[in-house]
Structure 1
Amino acid sequence: MASASPPEPTVAEVMADLAALEDPKIRAVNERHGDDHGVNLTRLRAVAKGLKTRHELAGRLWETGDTAARLVAILISRPKSYTGPELDAMLREARVPKAHDWLVNYVVKKSPHAEELRTAWFADADPVVASAGWALTSTRVAKEAEGLDLSGLLDLVETHMKDAPDRLQWAMNECLATIGIHHPEHRARAVGIGESLEVLKDYPTPPGCTSPYAPIWINEMVRRQAEK
C-alpha cells in the first residue's frame, strides 16, 4: 500500500517559517535599498527549495502582499503557467525593488508572453513599469537584437536618461551599456552618450566590481571578451 503524500504546505506555515528567519539587522540594510523584509536571501531560497514548484501556493503567497512571501512565490512558481494579464498585474503591484527584479528576471523572462509585455511596458507612463520594459529590452539587445532599432534606443537614452527617475534611469543605463558591449557598430556612440550624460559616474563601486558608469562598464566587458 502506497504511503499518503505529505499535505500541501499552507500559507500560514510558510509565513511562520519566514517570520522565524526575520533579522532586524538585515531588515535595516534592506530598507536602505527600498526593500521591506529582513530575511537572508540564502535562507529564503532554502525555504523555497524545500517547497519545490508549487504554482497554486505561489499565487496564494503573492496575494499576501508580504515581500518575503512574494520572493518565495516567485521561486516556486511555474513561469510558463502565468497569463500575460496576470504578469502585468503582478508587475504593477511589485513596487519593492527586489520583488520587481526577481519577477522580471525569474518569471517574465521565462514566459511566452515576455515580448508582448516588453513592448507594452517599454513606454508605460509609470516609470517603474517602464523600467521592466527596458530591462527586457536589454535582454533582447544581448541575445536577439534582430528587429530592434538600436539607433532609436540610443536616441531615447540620450534624450531621456539624464532626468529619468532612479529605477528607470538604471534600466536605461543598462540598455545603453548592453548596446555598447554587444554591438561594436554602436559602441563609440554608446560610450559617447555615457560620457556626455555622466549618469552613475560617481556611483560607489566596491573593490573588484565593475562600475555601472556606462563608459567604464562597456570598456571593461569588451576587454574581458577580447581576453577569452
Structure 2
Amino acid sequence: MSTPVTIDSTAAEVVAALEALEDPKVRAVNEKHGDDHGVNLTRLREVAKPLKKNQDLALELWATGYTPARLVATLIGKPRVFTQAQLDSMLREAYVPKVHGWLVNYIVKKSPHAEALRLIWLMDDDPVVASAGWDLTTERVMKQPEGVDLPGLLNVIELGMGSAPDRLQWAMNWCLTQIGVCHEEYRERAVSIAERLEVLKDYPTPPGCTSPYAPLAIAELVSRREG
C-alpha cells in the first residue's frame, strides 16, 4: 500500500491508496455482484477511518467516478450537510450496487431530505432509482410507519412486483417482507401476495441463511422477534 492517508490527505492521495489495494481476485468476486472494483471492503474502511468526517473531500472523491473513492465518500460525508439536489443527483449516478446501497444507508437515511427523496424516487421511471425509494419506504415501515399507507403499498406490490426488474423487485420484496414482519394485522395478506407471486421462491439460499422468499422470511423473522 502507498503512504497511509491522514486527516489532511487530498483526493488524489486517497485514490492512490485505494488503487494500491486493488486485488484481481477480489475484483472477480465483486464483478459477479455488479461491483466494478477489486478493493477489499475491510481495507477500504481502514483507508476511510483516519479521514474522519470531511464533506469537501467526500464531494471530491465522489466526483472522481472511481467506485472505491465513492464508497469512501459515503463513509466520510456528513449526511445532514448534503442538499436534496446533491443527493438526488448522486443517487442517479450510483448504478454500482454497493455504491447505491452505501449511499442510501449511510447518507440518505440520515439526511433531513430522506422523506422528500423517498416520495420522489418511489415514483421514478428508472427502476434503480425507484428501488432506493422502496428502500427508504421499508425504513419507514420498520421504524416510523405512522402516515404510511400500508394497504396501498401492498396493492402496489401485488400489482407490480412480479414483473419488476431485478433490483426493484428485490427492494419491493424486502418491503413486503417487513410489512409482514412488523405489522401483524397485514401479515396474512403479505404472505398471501408473496405465495401467489412466488418471487424469489427458488432463490438458492446457503445453509444457515434466511431465504429471501417472503413467506419463509416472514416466518423466520417473526419467530426471532417473538423468541
Identity %: 66
2:190 matched to 1:190? yes
**Whole-Å separation in 2 of the counterparts to 1:126 and 1:169:** 13
Q: Trace 1:8-19 onto structure 2 (pairs within 5 A).
A: 8-19=8-19
The amino acid across from 1:117 in the alignment is L
Q: What are the superposed Cα offsets for residues 161-216 of structure 1, whole Å, 9 maximum, x if unpaired?
A: 01100000000000000100000000000001111111011111111110110000
Residue number in structure 2 paired with 1:3: none
**Whole-Å separation in 2 of the counterparts to 1:226 and 1:109:** 27
- Indicate conservation of the 8 Å contact 2:53/2:76, yes or no: yes
Q: Runs ≥4 in structure 1, deviation > 3 angstroms?
A: none
The amino acid across from 1:183 in the alignment is H
- Indicate conservation of the 8 Å contact 2:181/2:218, yes or no: yes
**Whole-Å separation in 2 of the counterparts to 1:125 and 1:25:** 36
**Whole-Å separation in 2 of the counterparts to 1:140 and 1:150:** 10
Residue number in structure 1 paired with 2:56: 56
Taking structure 2 as the reference length, what is the TM-score of the superposition? 0.96
SS in 2 for 1:82: coil
Shift of 1:8: 2.3
**Whole-Å separation in 1 of the counterparts to 2:197 and 2:72:** 38
**Whole-Å separation in 2 of the counterparts to 1:132 and 1:31:** 21
Structure 2 unaligned residues grouped into runs of 5+: 1-5
Shift of 1:35: 0.4
The amino acid across from 1:102 in the alignment is W
2:116 matched to 1:155? no
**Whole-Å separation in 1 of the counterparts to 2:7 and 2:141:** 44
Q: What are the superposed Cα offsets for residues 83-135 of structure 1, whole Å, 9 maximum, x if unpaired?
A: 00000000000010000000000000000000000001001011100000000
Residue number in structure 2 paired with 1:215: 215
Q: What are the superposed Cα offsets for residues 146-172 of structure 1, whole Å, 9 maximum, x if unpaired?
A: 111111100111100011000000000
Q: Trace 1:159-174 onto structure 2 (pairs within 5 A).
A: 159-174=159-174
Residue number in structure 2 paired with 1:101: 101
Shift of 1:13: 0.7
Residue number in structure 2 paired with 1:126: 126
SS in 2 for 1:81: coil
* Count of residues in correspondence between the two structures: 222
| Deviates further, 6-15 or 59-68 | 6-15
Q: Cα 1:102–1:7, aligned 2, differ >3 Å: closer, same or farther?
A: closer
- Indicate conservation of the 8 Å contact 2:122/2:133, yes or no: yes
Q: Cα 1:98–1:7, aligned 2, differ >3 Å: closer, same or farther?
A: closer
Taking structure 1 as the reference length, what is the TM-score of the superposition? 0.96
Shift of 1:7: 7.4
The amino acid across from 2:147 in the alignment is G
How well do the aligned residues superpose, as a CA RMSD in angstroms? Answer: 0.9
Residue number in structure 1 paired with 2:139: 139
